[in-house]
Amino acid sequence: MRVLVTGHKGYIGSCLVPMLLEQGLEVTGLDSDLFKECTFDGELAEVPEVIKDTRDATLEDVADHDAVIHLAGLSNDPLGDYDPSLTDEINHRASVRVAELAKKAGVGRFVFASSCSNYGAAGDRFLDESASFNPVTPYGISKVDVERAVSQMATDDFSPVFLRASTAYGMSPRIRFDLVVNNLTAWAFTTGRVYLKSDGTPWRPIVHVEDICRAYIAALTAPTEAVHNAAFNVGTTTENYQIQEIARLVEEIVPGSRVEFAPDAGPDLRCYRVDCNHIARTLHGFKPQWTARRGIEQLYAKFQEVGLKLEDFEGERFKRIAHIKKLVADGVVDNRLRRIAPESLSRSA
């Protein structure tokens, strides 16, 4: 199977590509690589790639592939809030366009990186895939818009699949420190404080980045009738936590750390718990292997090995929004996040 992965150099993509290669799949990547200076540990797998913004994707880029895994986009709420119109342009309209190109090129399966952020402000009841959308951020709104548009494109020859991932965590070559488990563990290791910027009461489902990758592989290889135009909450139902519960786990695992609330810590509108039984029953290739405790232990061990410092994860290199603002300030990209001096768009190995 020939697979195009957009965003193959990102947090999930840099984990997913080697796992796809281990399955014997042929992988091509497409990524603007705005975060090429953000590799934290290890090296990215080398595959044929196109260094290009998805807004500029062409039919040639997606042709001759059996499937597309579309990960590319502005990846978190701070980036999404940076300019909501830009979030709509990149996360929504460009994503729909990539799906349209894939359909036109005869790609059979389109796996979209959706999110449980779709559910937004939903309280503490468990939500399955039939639950109403209630996004509260530009990022969440963009994911809902793509699902609604692309689902209408489904035909006998074009099968979209929507993977609504829980909040990710865990090690990746291009780790994100804005994610709650990663962030709290990093604060604990570098400062001794498990630093909460909200009141800790909201619920959040969490899932290890490697388990997200396993969901993509399962969705890619499942029979068409199992995934055609279907949505799946990605995670394990038992892995729903209040933020303060995650903080207490970090406090237990990182020696000498203590939970501390920021002076302006307040409620977070994003509050939801998700039921992941549908993916467990339907995608038999999806076998999650991580829990929050094991993930925190993994992060703590890696931070010890690397010697993580506060200025690393809170600074311009690894904090996504700070890195983007620096690229704009340095004239690398314009305020629409397009490179001012575009790199070669040629394919490379």
Residue 192 belongs to some domain of the structure: no
Q: What's the CATH code of the domain at 111? A: 3.40.50.720
Q: What is the mean pLDDT of the chain?
A: 93
CB atoms within 10 A of CB 106: 13
Q: Which of 109-113, 123-127, 339-343 has the lowest mean pLDDT?
A: 339-343
Mean pLDDT, range 134-155, rounded to an integer? 96
Mean pLDDT, range 315-323, rounded to an integer? 86
Helices 243-253, 292-306: inter-axial angle, 10-degree rounding? 50
Task: Give every CB contact of residue 119 below 8 A, 6+ residues apart in sequence.
Answer: 127, 131, 132, 133, 134, 135, 272, 274
pLDDT of residue 270: 78
Mean pLDDT, range 1-30, rounded to an integer? 98
Percent of the chain with pLDDT over 90: 84
Residue span of the structural domain in which 232 resides: 2-175+208-240+274-290+325-348
Q: How far apart are CA 184 and CA 193, in angstroms?
A: 8
Residue 301 belongs to some domain of the structure: no
Overall pTM > 0.75: yes
Residue 187 belongs to some domain of the structure: no
The values of phi and psi at residue 306, to 5°, are -80, -25
pLDDT of residue 34: 94
Residue 201 belongs to some domain of the structure: no
Q: How far apart are CA 210 and CA 306, in angstroms?
A: 20
Name the band, by pLDDT with cuts 50, 70 and 90, for residue 345: very low
Task: Please write the tens of the pLDDT for every residue from 183-210.
Answer: 999 999 999 999 998 899 999 999 999 9
pLDDT at 91 exceeding the cut of 80: yes
Number of domains in the chain: 1
Burial of residue 13 (number of CB atoms within 10 Å: 0-12, 13-18, 19+): buried
Half-sphere exposure of 41 (CA within 13 A, CB side): 16
What HEC string does the chain produce? CEEEEECCCCCCHHHHHHHHHHCCCEEEEEECCCCCCCCCCCCCCCCCEEECCHHHCCHHHHCCCCEEEECCCCCCHHHHHHCHHHHHHHHHHHHHHHHHHHHHCCCCEEEEEEEHHHHCEEEEEEECCCCCCCCCCHHHHHHHHHHHHHHCCCECCEEEEEEEECEEECCCCCCCCCCHHHHHHHHHHHHCEEEEEECCCCEEEEEEHHHHHHHHHHHHHCCHHHHCCEEEEECCCCCEEEHHHHHHHHHHHCCCCEEEEEEEEECCCCEEEECCHHHHHHCCCCCCCCCHHHHHHHHHHHHHHHCCCHHHHHCCCCCHHHHHHHHHHCCCECCCCCECCCCCCCEEC
Residue 298 belongs to some domain of the structure: no
Mean pLDDT, range 45-62, rounded to an integer? 97
More confident of the two residues 349 and 104: 104
pLDDT of residue 80: 65
Q: How many residues does the chain have?
A: 349
pLDDT at 64 exceeding the cut of 90: yes
Residue 255 belongs to some domain of the structure: no
pLDDT of residue 267: 73
pLDDT of residue 271: 85
pLDDT at 347 exceeding the cut of 60: no
pLDDT at 32 exceeding the cut of 90: yes
Q: Which of 20-34, 113-127, 161-175, 248-262 has the lowest mean pLDDT?
A: 113-127
pLDDT of residue 172: 97
Residue 148 belongs to some domain of the structure: yes
